[in-house]
Amino acid sequence: LIGFFVNTVALRTNVSGDPTFRELLNRIKNTTLDAFSHQELPFDKVVAAVKPERSLSHNPIYQVAFALQPNSSAPLQLQNLQIEPLKLGSVTAKFDLFLSAKEFAGGLAIT
């Protein structure tokens, strides 16, 4: 099986009350920990349950995304098959804001 494997966990964050940055991070931390307890639920089932107004112009549940890529210095190898990343240029924005962080031995590379 070859395909796009990602663990999408949608979060809703309450920013009311003009929180400080530290307070907002704490809210996001608690929301994230709560959400990860339900991460096995497929994203398409979340969309089906929420029944958002659909539009081809944006994602049905979220418009801001964050992706964390773990440190993987060695290319993935499967029996007689070597897999390596292929950089593709994209000319269209898929989200209003997308932040990608990749772990390295010396820290993070953020795009």
Nearest to 59 by CA among 92, 101, 18: 92
Residues 65, 29, 36, 76, CA torsion sign: positive
**pLDDT-based confidence at residue 73 (cuts at 50, 70, 90):** low
Listed ranges 20-24, 34-38, 39-43, 99-103; the one with the highest mean pLDDT: 20-24
Whole-number Cα distances in Å, 71 to 13, 30, 100 = 28, 25, 13
Mean pLDDT of 7-16: 84
Strands 81-83, 97-104: pairing is unpaired
Q: What is the pTM of this model?
A: 0.63
Choice between 1 and 111, residue whose per-residue pLDDT is larger = 111
